[in-house]
Amino acid sequence: MSSMPKLSTVISWLIYLVPVYLFVLNPLLQQFLPSSFTPWNTSDAYGSWDDTAPGINVTDDSFISPEDGVPFNCAGEPEGLNKYTPSIVYDGKTERVDPTKRLSDRALLDRDDTVRCLEERARAFQGWRPNLYIERMWAQRYNASGHYRHHYDWTGSLARGGDRLSTFMVYLGADCEGGGTNFPRLQMPVGKQWCRFLECEDEATDEGGSESGLGSGSGADSGAGTGTGGEGRLARLKKDGITFKPIKGNAVFWENLRADGTGYTETWHAAYPVTSGTKVGLNIWSWYQPPRRKLG
Ligand SMILES: O=C(O)CCC(=O)C(=O)O
Ligand SMILES: [Fe+2]
């Protein structure tokens, strides 16, 4: 006949098991499991990554801007803009120039006082979040017919090491027609006050037929179709979510990743074609990459 163990027996088991867990099992588990699987790691909501994944080299200063402690002065004058070269598209594996998807030129910004100040403000804005790295900044110049078709800024690569957590889309120059930043999956907010920042339907009717080349097609990777002036633009506005007007000095901020590390599909967006003049954009991208645990 089986009988319940005595309370004193259970207590003596515990006396042996607790140190075995604390000093043997727990250190072993910490060593072999990614910290996302260890419930006591609550320092960050993101966590399902693969310990064997390399991620990017977060000290590679051609990709990110390491916090190197170099002093800077926020009142400094902007200095360095390198030569413009054609912009590239990246599918998570390879980089290439593809003007059907992205037609613009880009120039790497030197990390002068102004850029360092922007990096610091971007970190502060996001609460000095741990494991967040500001990518090197590139200016993007769009001349007439320059555009960037609908895409995500994230690639779903967190499990392979890291991904783009957030985007500041800054309009450095907006001496142009067209060139709005479109989010087809977002809804127009209520209230005329938004028309300062977003394209509004009644503006489209007032304007008549001056704008073209702004249609957005449908399905994956649409964007640079053709429009038909006021009427066409009104129809487009009705079905095309929201479009931020490029206004010099303004910026749009959004987060790309959910708390579980997957990408928001609502962030599908495009740079609509510039129809005349020049737009200069600046992406301030924050790369999130938890530290790798060294095995062995
Ligand atoms: O220029 C814009 O309006 C958007 C640019 C963009 O989405 C990008 O560079 O990833
Ligand atoms: Fe983008």
pLDDT tens digits, one per residue of 138-185 = 999 999 999 999 999 999 999 889 999 999 999 999 999 999 999 999
Q: Which residues line ligand 1 (CB under 6 A)?
A: 140, 148, 153, 169, 181, 269, 271, 281, 283
Distance 199 CA to ligand 2 centre (A): 18
ipTM of the complex: 0.99
CA nearest ligand 1 atom 2, residue = 271
Question: What CA–CA distances, in Å, run from 294 to 55, 114, 125, 132, 280?
Answer: 13, 37, 31, 20, 42
Atom of ligand 1 nearest to the CA of 270: 7
Homologous superfamily of the 85-288 domain (CATH): q2cbj1_9rhob like domain (2.60.120.620)
pLDDT reported for residue 221: 35
Atom of ligand 1 nearest to the CA of 246: 3
pLDDT reported for residue 4: 67
Which comes out higher in pLDDT, residue 229 or 249? Answer: 249
Distance 36 CA to ligand 2 centre (A): 29
From 120-129, 159-168, 178-187, 232-241, the region with the lowest mean pLDDT: 232-241
Q: What value does the mean pLDDT take over residues 36-52?
A: 49
Strands (E), the chain: 85-86, 89-90, 95-96, 102-103, 105-108, 132-134, 138-142, 147-151, 163-178, 181-183, 242-244, 251-255, 269-271, 274-288
CA–CA dist 226, 203 (Å, integer): 19
pLDDT reported for residue 33: 39
CA–chain centroid gap for 121, Å, is: 16
Residue-wise pLDDT tens digits, 56-74: 888 888 889 988 888 888 8
3-state secondary structure 220-269: CCCCCCCCCHHHHHHHHHHHCCEEECCCCCCEEEEECECCCCCECHHHCE
Q: Which amino acid is at 111?
A: R
Question: Given ligand 1 and candidates 140, 216, 275, 285, which is best to mutate, with the most ligand atoms within 8 Å of its CB?
Answer: 140
Identify the three-state secondary structure at position 283.
Answer: strand
Task: Give Cβ neighbours of residue 165 (< 8 Å, ≥ 6 apart).
Answer: 129, 132, 255, 256, 257, 286, 287, 288
Closest CA to 267 of 130, 170, 164, 140: 164
**Domain extents in the chain:** 7-32, 85-288
User: Residue 294's pLDDT band (boundaries 50, 70, 90)?
Assistant: low
Distance 170 CA to ligand 1 centre (A): 9
Which of the 8 DSSP states describes residue 293? P
Q: What value does the mean pLDDT take over residues 193-210?
A: 74
Identify the three-state secondary structure at position 63.
Answer: coil
Distance 79 CA to ligand 2 centre (A): 25
Residue-wise pLDDT tens digits, 101-116: 999 999 999 999 999 9
User: Residue 127's pLDDT band (boundaries 50, 70, 90)?
Assistant: very high
pLDDT reported for residue 226: 36
Q: What value does the mean pLDDT take over residues 246-266?
A: 97
Closest CA to 163 of 74, 288, 255, 266: 288
pLDDT reported for residue 230: 61
pLDDT reported for residue 14: 66
